[in-house]
Amino acid sequence: MCTSKMLKEIGRSTLYSIVDGYNYVCKSSRHVGISEERIQSIAKYDYEEYNNWIKSSKVIDFSSLTLDETIEFLIFFHNINFSYWGNPKWEIETKKYGKLDGSLAMLYVCLEILKDNDFNPENIARLSFKDFSNYFNVENQISLLRERYHNTVFLYSDICDMLRKRNLSTTYDLFRGLCLNDEVVFGFIINNFGEFFDDYSRYNNHKIPFYKRAQLLTSDIMNVLNDFNFSIPKTSNLIGCADYKIPQLLNKLGVLYYDDILTSKIASKEIIPRNHSFEVEIRANTLKVIEMISNITGATRMQVNDTLWLMSQKLKKDKDIPYHLTRTTAY
């Protein structure tokens, strides 16, 4: 079992590797560029007075959950929080919130699954594919459903093994006793759940790590611990979450610009293969923009990240530039 010091080193070195990776890609980018002039224009936004992205959704009332249940929810959710685009886009109908799609629909579905299974890791690990799939709209099925199911049962089988070996009850018990900061929590996720949160690409024969979901899970756990009055450092060492919504916004604002070939592919909604230079350059330059805004404003990178993501949710689906389409479990 790794100590807090060991986990912190794992987390810190992995975060450093993300920075090295996106800097390498940005220096070599052929299809994506950054307008420093436009960055100055969006640096005026108040990135420090932001709402955490999940709380802003109002789909989950965390005040009704215990700390153990909340951590269970976050791990369960982020383990399958990826790839929502489609035609038609996956959506569900709810009594309380009406129609939900994308990550908001997934928040709702994950909470229903966990409630029905008493937030019990053993019950989750035993879910059948039929039972799992019934929570998703069968008529308009979500993409990569089988992959989401495998991620769920295999992760929770591993979690149950860890709990049994250490004579523990809940997933949060695995974190108890650690000196919690974001590097330690991130290191814990990479060290124990790395297979399910792995996220790196190849670019010019270089390994380029991103770890989007692992970082977002870490950020959400840290926010929750603060809500439960833990003494958590306010500084953040996380880098940012490279997905498809934030670059869509940055492209609309003129901060990210694409060459004619990439612009045409995105406009025509052509699928860009995973690990293609188009995709890697979009993700890497997105992280570089987050870094630049953070340096100008003094906000943490995750404050910048969450603010930009919330802004991206206001884009008009039929009127604005579409986002790039890559089918992947990374984001």
Q: SS3 letters for 210-267?
A: CCHHHHHHHHHHHHHHHHCCCCCCCCCCCCCCCCCHHHHHHHHCCCEEECHHHHHHHH
Helix (H) or strand (E) holding 299: none
| Tens-binned pLDDT, residue by residue, of the chain (331 aa) | 789 999 999 999 999 999 999 999 999 999 999 999 999 999 988 887 666 777 777 888 888 999 999 999 999 999 999 999 998 889 999 999 999 999 999 999 999 999 999 999 999 999 999 999 999 976 778 999 999 999 999 999 999 999 999 999 999 999 998 888 999 999 999 999 999 999 999 999 999 999 999 999 999 999 999 888 887 776 789 999 999 999 999 999 999 999 999 999 999 999 999 999 999 999 999 999 999 999 999 999 999 999 999 999 888 776 778 999 999 999 9
pTM as predicted: 0.95
Predicted local distance difference test score (pLDDT) of residue 51: 65
3-state secondary structure of 127: coil
Cα separation of 278 and 289, whole Å?
17
Predicted local distance difference test score (pLDDT) of residue 180: 86
Distances (CA, A) of 210 to 15, 22, 30, 192, 276: 9, 8, 19, 17, 15
Predicted local distance difference test score (pLDDT) of residue 240: 97
Counting Cα atoms < 13 Å in the Cβ hemisphere of 6 gives 6
Predicted local distance difference test score (pLDDT) of residue 52: 74
Predicted local distance difference test score (pLDDT) of residue 140: 75
Cα separation of 13 and 239, whole Å?
12
Closest Cα partner for 204 from 277, 282, 278?
277
Closest Cα partner for 109 from 170, 67, 152?
152
**Cα dihedral 117, 122, 124, 127 sign:** negative
Predicted local distance difference test score (pLDDT) of residue 50: 63
Helix (H) or strand (E) holding 313: none
